[in-house]
């Protein structure tokens, strides 16, 4: 069989691109097609398999401004030629699933989320523009997006939250297969002298926020809450919100910007808990932190409901969850620093009950081996070739997982 993997764009190595690497392990001879490709921005293995790009790739400066060309996405996807392929797997959070596939081929969409740009987050992306201009465009793009979804043979969402979004926006049922997550640092934990010194200052304990500092992650809620409580909070990462966050932070909040992989994993291991104040479709950072043996404090919504068993202190019940590895914030408290503060107080009272081995056990459900086995079982059930990477045996899955670990370490 000829297999094509269609990705929205390849401009950096993030969670979606790690999923693409995993699919290349299952289908090592697959071709990659994408709207925009910046060679060297992902990994050598991905670069080596890119076979075609859309007309957007010819626009000067497109790597920095591809989101600004949203109105051209329908035209761009139409220029990707998938004739001759037997199986097409689109990895999509935007336009990849809208490609046209030959009638003889099977199209499976591994959906990170329906396109937020034109659905629930359209007001944010189009703020400052006249509604008289944006509303007609959004109507056209939504019609195009729904039509594209109808042509997909099988949807697979990365969480039950995303499956519900697929049902809501597209009226389609979706299976759920969580993405694979690194369960340990693939880079040797060699810290610089400066990083060693920073960690030596953490003897009193600290809470942690990590990831891109962008509005929807609501790191501002954590910064306001911990500034008021005067409890140490370390913020790792960079993004458009960094300057604003520094203006509202008290002396108990420290910003570190972009950090090494080794330093990130050491912070996972040493923090009292990860603070996760946003609502995300899945959330790789919480699973990585659980893999390091540390608990989570986060909103009872989104993908976190799949990845964490946590206390819900607002529910009065004699039934205490087993294997809890964190504290939930009620969905009604999303965006409210006071609700986060209350969850932190509950955590401090119950901190003794959170076991590192339990947290690691929760994270183990999102290993590469589990992803391979889940995908192959799904592929066999829907009648397509499952691939040759992990095969169907546990030993094959372990071999594939080790292959990815070694490759990511080399990259």
Q: Which token pair is 343?
A: 């969850």
Please report which confidence band the pLDDT of residue 397 belongs to, taking 50, 70 and 90 as the band edges: very low
Same domain, 315 and 393: no
CA distance 178 to 110: 10
Q: Which token pair is 374?
A: 């889940």
- Is 187 a domain residue? no
Average pLDDT, integer, range 146-163: 97
Same domain, 385 and 342: no
pLDDT at 392 over 60: no
CA distance 325 to 57: 44
- Is 186 a domain residue? no
pLDDT at 408 over 60: no
CATH number of the domain encompassing residue 390: 3.40.50
Domain boundary among 347, 364, 381: 364
Same domain, 138 and 261: no
Per residue in 332-379, pLDDT tens?
A: 999 999 999 999 999 999 999 899 999 999 999 999 999 999 999 999
- Is 185 a domain residue? no
Per residue in 180-220, pLDDT tens?
A: 998 886 655 678 888 888 888 776 789 999 998 988 899 99
- Which pLDDT does position 187 carry in this prediction? 55
Q: Sheet of 87-92: strands edge to edge? A: 50-53, 31-37, 3-10, 87-92, 106-111, 154-157, 174-176
- Is 344 a domain residue? yes
pLDDT at 47 over 50: yes
Cβ contact 310:327 at 8 Å: yes
Q: Specify the DSSP class assigned to residue 127.
A: T
Strand partners, 34: 7, 53
Average pLDDT, integer, range 287-307: 96
Strand partners, 33: 6, 52
Please report which confidence band the pLDDT of residue 385 belongs to, taking 50, 70 and 90 as the band edges: confident
Average pLDDT, integer, range 92-97: 95
User: How many other CB atoms are found less than 10 A from the CB of residue 257?
Assistant: 11
- Is 263 a domain residue? yes
Same domain, 167 and 315: no
Same domain, 168 and 199: no
Domains in the chain, number: 2
Average pLDDT, integer, range 100-104: 94
Per residue in 223-275, pLDDT tens?
A: 999 999 999 999 999 988 999 999 999 999 999 999 988 899 999 999 999 99
pLDDT at 387 over 90: no
Average pLDDT, integer, range 296-322: 86
Higher confidence at residue 47 or residue 389?
47
Average pLDDT, integer, range 128-153: 91
List, in sequence order, the alpha helices (H) in 251-367: 261-270, 284-291, 304-307, 337-350, 356-363
pTM of the entire structure?
Answer: 0.88
- Is 225 a domain residue? yes
Average pLDDT, integer, range 325-336: 96
Higher confidence at residue 189 or residue 89?
89
Proportion of the chain in helix, strand, coil states, percent, rounded to 5: 45, 15, 40
Per residue in 160-170, pLDDT tens?
A: 999 999 999 99
Same domain, 17 and 83: yes
Same domain, 245 and 101: no
CATH number of the domain encompassing residue 236: 3.40.50.2000
- Which pLDDT does position 320 carry in this prediction? 58
Same domain, 262 and 337: yes
List, in sequence order, the alpha helices (H) in 90-192: 122-125, 131-150, 160-170
Looking only at the bridges linking them, the beta strands covering 87-92 and 50-53 are unpaired
List, in sequence order, the alpha helices (H) in 277-393: 284-291, 304-307, 337-350, 356-363, 368-382
Choose the weakest-confidence range: 3-12, 59-68, 389-398: 389-398
- Which pLDDT does position 161 carry in this prediction? 97
Question: What is the residue-averaged pLDDT of the chain?
Answer: 89
Same domain, 156 and 272: no
Cβ contact 308:365 at 8 Å: no
Q: Which token pair is 105?
A: 């081929």
- Which pLDDT does position 393 carry in this prediction? 40
Give residue 156's domain range.
3-180+367-410
- Is 188 a domain residue? no
Q: Specify the DSSP class assigned to residue 311.
A: B
Same domain, 116 and 230: no
- Is 272 a domain residue? yes
Same domain, 134 and 209: no
Which H/E stretch holds residue 110?
strand 106-111
Same domain, 77 and 202: no
- Which pLDDT does position 178 carry in this prediction? 97
Choose the weakest-confidence range: 9-18, 32-41, 101-110: 9-18
29-50 burial: b if 16+ Cβ within 10 Å, else e = ebbbbbbbbbeebbbebbeebb
- Which pLDDT does position 120 carry in this prediction? 86
């Amino acid at each position: 069989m000829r297999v094509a993997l269609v990705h929205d764009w390849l401009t950096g190595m993030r969670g979606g691109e790690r999923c693409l690497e995993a699919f290349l392990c299952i289908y090592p001879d697959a071709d990659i097609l994408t709207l925009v490709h910046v060679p060297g921005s992902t990994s050598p293995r991905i670069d080596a398999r890119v076979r075609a790009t859309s007309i957007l790739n010819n626009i000067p400066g497109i790597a920095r401004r591809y989101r600004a060309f949203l109105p051209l996405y329908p035209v761009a996807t139409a220029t990707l030629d998938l004739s001759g392929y037997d199986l097409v797997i689109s990895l999509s959070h935007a336009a990849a699933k809208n490609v046209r596939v030959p009638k003889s081929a099977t199209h499976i969409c591994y959906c990170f989320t329906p396109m937020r740009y034109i659905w629930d987050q359209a007001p944010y992306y189009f703020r400052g523009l006249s509604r008289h201009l944006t509303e007609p465009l959004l109507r056209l793009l939504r019609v195009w997006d729904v039509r594209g979804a109808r042509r997909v043979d099988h949807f697979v969402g990365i969480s039950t939250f995303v499956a519900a979004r697929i049902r809501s926006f597209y009226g389609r049922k979706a299976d759920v297969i969580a993405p694979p997550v690194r369960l340990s640092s693939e880079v040797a934990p060699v810290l610089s002298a400066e990083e060693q010194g920073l960690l030596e200052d953490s003897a009193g304990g600290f809470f942690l926020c990590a990831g891109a500092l962008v509005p929807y992650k609501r790191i501002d809620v954590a910064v306001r809450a911990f500034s008021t409580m005067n409890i140490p909070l370390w913020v790792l990462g960079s993004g458009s919100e960094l300057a604003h966050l520094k203006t509202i932070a008290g002396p108990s909040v420290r910003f570190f910007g972009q950090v090494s992989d080794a330093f990130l994993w050491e912070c996972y291991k040493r923090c009292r808990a990860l603070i996760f104040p946003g609502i995300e479709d899945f959330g790789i950072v919480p699973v990585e932190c659980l893999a390091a043996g540390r608990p989570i404090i986060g909103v009872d919504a989104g993908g976190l409901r799949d990845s964490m068993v946590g206390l819900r202190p607002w529910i009065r019940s004699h039934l205490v969850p087993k294997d809890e590895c964190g504290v939930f914030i009620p969905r009604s408290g999303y965006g409210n620093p006071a609700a986060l503060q209350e969850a932190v107080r509950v955590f401090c009272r119950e901190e003794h009950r959170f076991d590192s081995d339990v947290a690691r056990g929760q994270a183990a459900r999102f290993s590469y081996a589990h992803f391979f086995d889940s995908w192959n079982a799904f592929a066999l059930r829907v009648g397509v070739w499952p691939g040759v990477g992990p095969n169907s045996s546990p030993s094959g899955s372990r071999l594939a997982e080790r292959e990815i670990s070694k490759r990511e370490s080399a990259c």
